Amino acid sequence: MLSLRQVSRLGWRTIISPRALHTSPPVSAIGRLPAGTHTIPEGRDQVETSRAEWGYVERLFPPKTVPRPQATPGEVKPSGWVAPSASRDDHPYFVPRNRSHMLPVYLEHKPIISKYRTSVHHVEGDIFALLEELREYLKEQRQPKILNMRAHEPHQRIEVKGQYVAEVREFLLQKGF
Amino acid sequence: MFLFSRQATRGRGIYGGKTHGCGSKGSGQRQNFMRLGYETGNNPFYLRFPTQNYYKGHHLRLSYTPLCMGKLQRMIDTARLRTDRPVDVSELTATGLFSVKPYEKEGGFMLQDDGIDHFQATVNLEVQWASEAVIAAVERNGGTITVAYYDPGALLAAVDPMAFFRRGVPIPRRMLPPQNLIDYYSDPKNRGYLADPAQVAKERFILAQKYGYALPDIRSSPHKEMLLERKDPRQIFYGLQPGWVVSLKDKLILKPTDPELQQHYAS
């Protein structure tokens, strides 16, 4: 059994930053306030230390990085998540997954305004080739009256006016990205 | 003058000059404002109606972070969430995909039945709300599910255990649910954590009959110990009892020895 004083000698600091505390001058009447006292009853400061249950504390540590999925290339998991299978030489372009291992296809939409934009991020290589192939695919799938698309090369992005997330995802999965 | 972005201003009149945002004449420009809700004399909206039962008890009601079964399965598929350990509030928030705010009167996680047809994982789940279909989906795959209440203080600790341990205060006892929730958490049909385990086992069998699946035997499963791991109703973290202080710096757990304290923290 250790007392709190003995534990403090182990180097257990209270949570105060090491920098000097900058305090303002106290109110003049503060010296006249009744002083409070707080005593810890006897026996309360005796503590028992243990490392046996430290495993349970380590269980609570959050992971520092996003874990890598364990899947063979092209494997389809029960939730519908597909592992990437394409390599950089397969096509003139390459669309890697984002840091959460998901396809980088996003729908930008401001509520109230009827303005939707589907965008594909992180496009590497010949972005214009991907743009044309995607244009053909979307025309075939949805036959829209107007299809506005553009490739923003410096930002490595392809933007499509409208809601085409499902079709774009399907296209990228077919390519193995 | 309205600025669309935080463009640099030099405090000159060109950015908001003349009336400087105060309008013209009236109580606004003369800085003698009318009280909030005043409608220049007619009976104001906030006084027209004697009661508004729509918001009655709103301050007592909790909201829950929705988590659909499809997302849960996707998290398991991409190894974001590990199923070799019991999954509770702490595990779910540790993925970094959710933010549970106890200060905003949020109670935790609520499982929704979107995607239960593709749910195939064997998990030991502990959430704050689950519907019957969700319970059936989990139990059909050989898992277990419990609904447990976390009072705001306990939820704050559970959602960010590292921040809680850094405070250096003893782990508190989890409080029992309030009046409007005690029935929900004591009902074996909901797999409440306060329900009788024998009743829960009976309800598992009845649910399997209702939904038409063969109830897997957990006792013969290789993950039996993990699936049957449960917290005490007063416990926040698995394996750590209330009253203990966790020192992250020294990698130590300090336990009280005073019998009065031990009695206080014991269940």
Both tokens of A38, joined, read: 């707080």
Within 8 A of A59 by CB-CB distance, chain B residues are 85, 238-239
Q: Which of B74, B115, B246 is nearest residue A57 as measured by Cβ atoms? A: B246
Within 8 A of B73 by CB-CB distance, chain A residues are 77-79
Residue with tokens 């729509």: B54
Residue type, B258: D
Yes or no, beta carbons of B257 and A48 under 8 Å apart = yes
CA distance B73 to B84: 14
CA distance B157 to B164: 5
Within 8 A of B262 by CB-CB distance, chain A residues are none
- Four-CA torsion B7, B11, B12, B16, nearest 10 degrees: 70
Both tokens of B71, joined, read: 């997302």
pTM value is: 0.80
| Ranges in chain A, pLDDT < 70 | 1-27
Q: Is A18 on the interface with B (CB under 8 A)?
A: no
For the segment B150-203, what is each residue's pLDDT rounded down to a tens digit? 999 999 999 999 999 999 999 999 999 999 999 999 999 999 999 999 999 999
CA distance B239 to B225: 14
HSE-CB at B145 with a 13 A cutoff on CA atoms is 28
ipTM comes to 0.82
* Cβ contact B252:A49 at 8 Å: yes
For the segment B108-167, what is each residue's pLDDT rounded down to a tens digit? 999 999 999 999 999 999 999 999 999 999 999 999 999 999 999 999 999 999 999 999
For the segment B34-79, what is each residue's pLDDT rounded down to a tens digit? 899 999 999 999 999 887 788 888 888 999 999 999 999 999 999 9
CA distance B139 to B204: 8
Both tokens of A14, joined, read: 């209270």
pLDDT of residue A8: 46
Q: Is B8 on the interface with A (CB under 8 A)?
A: no
Yes or no, beta carbons of B240 and A48 under 8 Å apart = no
Q: Is A36 on the interface with B (CB under 8 A)?
A: no
The β-bridge relationship of strands A157-161 and B124-127 is unpaired
Q: Is A54 on the interface with B (CB under 8 A)?
A: yes
Q: Which helix (H) or strand (E) holds B20?
A: none
Give ∠ CA A136-A137-A141 in degrees, rounded to 5.
120
Q: Which of A46, A57, A81 is nearest residue B74 as measured by Cβ atoms? A: A81
* Cβ contact B227:B144 at 8 Å: yes
For the segment B15-36, what is each residue's pLDDT rounded down to a tens digit? 777 778 888 888 888 988 889 9
Yes or no, beta carbons of B253 and A50 under 8 Å apart = yes
Residue A157 pairs in a beta bridge with: A152
Q: Is A65 on the interface with B (CB under 8 A)?
A: no
pLDDT of residue A11: 46
Q: Which of B77, B94, B253 is nearest residue A54 as measured by Cβ atoms? A: B253
Within 8 A of B255 by CB-CB distance, chain A residues are 47-50
Alpha helix ranges (H) inside B112-173: 132-140, 152-159, 161-167
CA distance B90 to B236: 9
Query: What kind of fold does domain A93-175 have according to CATH?
Result: Translation Initiation Factor Eif1 (3.30.780)
Q: Is A99 on the interface with B (CB under 8 A)?
A: no
The more confident residue out of A113 and B261 is: B261
Residue type, B22: C
The β-bridge relationship of strands A157-161 and A149-152 is antiparallel
- Per-residue confidence at B9, pLDDT binned at 50, 70, 90? low
pLDDT of residue A19: 60
Residue type, A85: S
pLDDT of residue B16: 77
CA distance A104 to A157: 10
DSSP B237: B
All residues at 6 or more sequence positions from B114 whose CB lies less than 8 Å from its CB, including other chains: B68, B69, B70
Nearest CA in chain A to B250: A12
Both tokens of A63, joined, read: 């992971």
pLDDT of residue B60: 85
HSE-CB at B142 with a 13 A cutoff on CA atoms is 14
CA distance A120 to A164: 11
Within 8 A of A55 by CB-CB distance, chain B residues are 239
Yes or no, beta carbons of A47 and B255 under 8 Å apart = yes
Q: Is A59 on the interface with B (CB under 8 A)?
A: yes
pLDDT of residue B1: 56
pLDDT of residue A12: 45
> Å from A69 to nearest chain B CA?
4
CA distance B119 to B72: 8
DSSP B85: S
Q: Decide: helix, strand or coil at residue A173.
A: helix
The β-bridge relationship of strands B106-112 and B63-68 is parallel
Yes or no, beta carbons of A50 and B119 under 8 Å apart = no
**Can you count the helices (H) and strands (E) in chain B?**
11, 7
All residues at 6 or more sequence positions from A79 whose CB lies less than 8 Å from its CB, including other chains: B70, B73, B74, B76, B77, B115, B118
